[in-house]
Structure 1
């Protein structure tokens, strides 16, 4: 964390409050003076603003809820995310930080990138496009669909890199090999969208099967790039973001390594995202001296899906990890109850025929403890669970 980021935040948000009445109202209601921010402790005095709260404010005062701290002439685009939430895109030469991802992957001049993300309303397509060009690459704006045509484009233009969802990347790769043969596949790098479940294992299989390196980033429409893969564990936080992992209810920062909501403050205040609750859950892998996060885990899910068990939030992702890591496991569910003034969590497993039940129970218990950071009170084998069953169920009030 750069020494002057809090000074920059203090100056930027004090000035922004004079231009953005919605931001000023937020500060006034909290008794918060941005000009006095000199540390993380100062910044943390401001309550977290949830994305749902921003949506409500925008509905009352469209389009930006009084939060735009810039002149409209400086807004190049207005993105529309589900809600709808309106996000102004101000001038930025690097795809709002995503160029760091391409540079980390070694993609730049001489590379031809097929960008298959959507180009209308939502920011993904345009941000990846801008970022790739900022890194020096040449971009083909493919957008979504048109599998046969895009496969032809990959072969005939010599595409070296693809930006896509994991599923669509596989569709394109299979189509190229099926139609043109394996020797026609020249792609070396893939920038993939995340999936729940055993995504990292799927990426390793893609790398082995198609001879590519795979990369990913954590970005939101509100903030642009938050963190990106750089070859190390997890995701490296953007140098112009203050990232905290916070209790999704109190907004207080949780202990290092505990899961919680990703809360972000941007150094720049033209679109003033300060102590903004993303709704995504993760945990810190590395922290700076001041307690901010420098490297975060992969996302664990959405905070609304978490259940608090003995002061620890347990996310559906934990149950997915149990299924992934337990030999012979097909499905699992965690049920949380309240008994004798104590939270209890019981884990049910469905196994493949012939799987070792004792070994599976032991493995599931260890994996659950590793990812949830608490012990399951009981692990049991069941014959079946309903299709599309909830991964974690809160029955504490039943």
Structure 2
């Protein structure tokens, strides 16, 4: 069976495969990883209790802290002699989370990344400009290995050096761009400053964007600015890296279910929610050897859909990631995700998608400010137009998000740019500054 056909297999066949692989994974996790054996025993459940896919909900959750508590290799299910690659998170909030891969795992990773590339029919004629960071971060090498396996020409540009990247993209004739959506917009911004014509000087036809939440408005801005097809590549290093899911031509984010079983839970109670209800995405790996993850809580908020997709794929899809439950701001009792603010901003002409949300405390109340860069053309229209725009944004946020936010419009290129994941929130409430 070709890799592309795996996305179209009948649901009955897929679910039978999932159950077989799930049961094998649970047996290996129980007998080869002391952490899981202890956790299963405490929950009063064993591998023999998994008889149907619905039994998955009986198993305990795994969270990121579990990886940190078992740093570095405590969750590995194979001896180190079988580990051929190690990746890890940055570890900016303590010990990094460490993930390992066997030769088998590397083949699975390459497979799901090839299927990601096939969403835009990437082939040996393409030149892939890979601006994801290389090294311990899974992005760079994840995109690199699969593109090379397809036979495409890979330019391992990594992050940073924006002007040099633009020169290489133009001179080498890149047709595919791989990077974060915020960096894609930064590239476009600098390209215009340098005098490039985005549509004439570059040959890009598609881009694969991920590693940070992006609103529909931001995706549209990237696609229209560069004149390309936007493909979202969703993944987590704890699960495999990029390659967990990707968007088809209809914008549906399909999960490669023959390797990862998704669930949606209530983030407060942990109860499994029915399809169509919003909650936290939970993923279980069913083909990984080195680091099996049982019911891993991603913290990502989304919705599962199982109805047929117009693209013909039978694997289910999830909605655009609304945000992370741990990135959700609670401002005076109202839940706010940065992506919701971003969506309001990207619907208003005269604004750029560069913004920062600043949360502070005034007495007992939370105070929310949104700093947004305006388009250079708008500055020529005078202070009056800026005042009108501020009021419009504040009204839109109140009407759509039910929050009272003070808007601060700043000049272009004022806010700090990121070469990787964009930092959108400054929460000063606990700092008392």
- Shorter-chain TM-score range: 0.7 to 0.9
Alpha carbons of structure 1 residues 156 and 356: separation in structure 2 relative to 1, 3 Å:
closer
Q: CA deviation at 1:136?
A: 3.2
In the alignment, structure 1 segments of 5+ residues that lack a partner are 336-344, 369-375
Using CA pairs below 8 Å that are at least 6 residues apart, which structure has the higher relative contact order?
2
Alpha carbons of structure 1 residues 144 and 354: separation in structure 2 relative to 1, 3 Å:
closer
Q: Which has the higher strand share?
A: 1
CA RMSD of aligned residues (A): 4.1
Relative to the length of structure 2, the TM-score reads: 0.70
Distance 1:295 1:393 in 2: 37
Distance 1:45 1:21 in 2: 19
Q: In the alignment, what sits opposite 1:184?
A: 201
Instruction: Judge conservation of contact 1:152–1:176 (CA < 8 Å) in 2.
Output: no
Instruction: Judge conservation of contact 1:316–1:391 (CA < 8 Å) in 2.
Output: no
Instruction: Judge conservation of contact 1:17–1:69 (CA < 8 Å) in 2.
Output: no
Write out per-residue CA displacement over residues 52-72 of structure 1, whole angstroms, 9 at most, x where no aligned residue.
2221232xxxx222x212232
Distance 1:261 1:10 in 2: 24
Instruction: Judge conservation of contact 2:87–2:138 (CA < 8 Å) in 1.
Output: yes
Relative to the length of structure 1, the TM-score reads: 0.75
Residue 387 of structure 2: which of 348, 353, 363 is its match? 353
Q: In the alignment, what sits opposite 1:89?
A: 101
SS state of the match for residue 115, structure 2?
helix
Instruction: Judge conservation of contact 2:133–2:159 (CA < 8 Å) in 1.
Output: yes
Alignment: residue pair count: 365
Alpha carbons of structure 1 residues 156 and 9: separation in structure 2 relative to 1, 3 Å:
same
The answer to whether 1:263 aligns with 2:282 is: yes
Q: CA deviation at 1:194?
A: 5.6
Alpha carbons of structure 1 residues 393 and 366: separation in structure 2 relative to 1, 3 Å:
farther
Write out per-residue CA displacement over residues 350-375 of structure 1, whole angstroms, 9 at most, x where no aligned residue.
996336979975x656634xxxxxxx
Q: CA deviation at 1:250?
A: 2.5
Alpha carbons of structure 1 residues 358 and 193: separation in structure 2 relative to 1, 3 Å:
closer
Distance 1:357 1:113 in 2: 43
Q: In the alignment, what sits opposite 1:273?
A: 293
Q: CA deviation at 1:233?
A: 3.7
SS state of the match for residue 44, structure 1?
helix
In the alignment, structure 2 segments of 5+ residues that lack a partner are 1-10, 309-314, 361-365, 372-384, 410-414, 416-423
Distance 1:171 1:381 in 2: 26
Q: In the alignment, what sits opposite 1:9?
A: 22
SS state of the match for residue 354, structure 1?
helix
Alpha carbons of structure 1 residues 181 and 247: separation in structure 2 relative to 1, 3 Å:
closer
Distance 1:131 1:282 in 2: 28
Q: In the alignment, what sits opposite 1:163?
A: 178
Q: CA deviation at 1:319?
A: 4.9
Q: CA deviation at 1:167?
A: 3.7
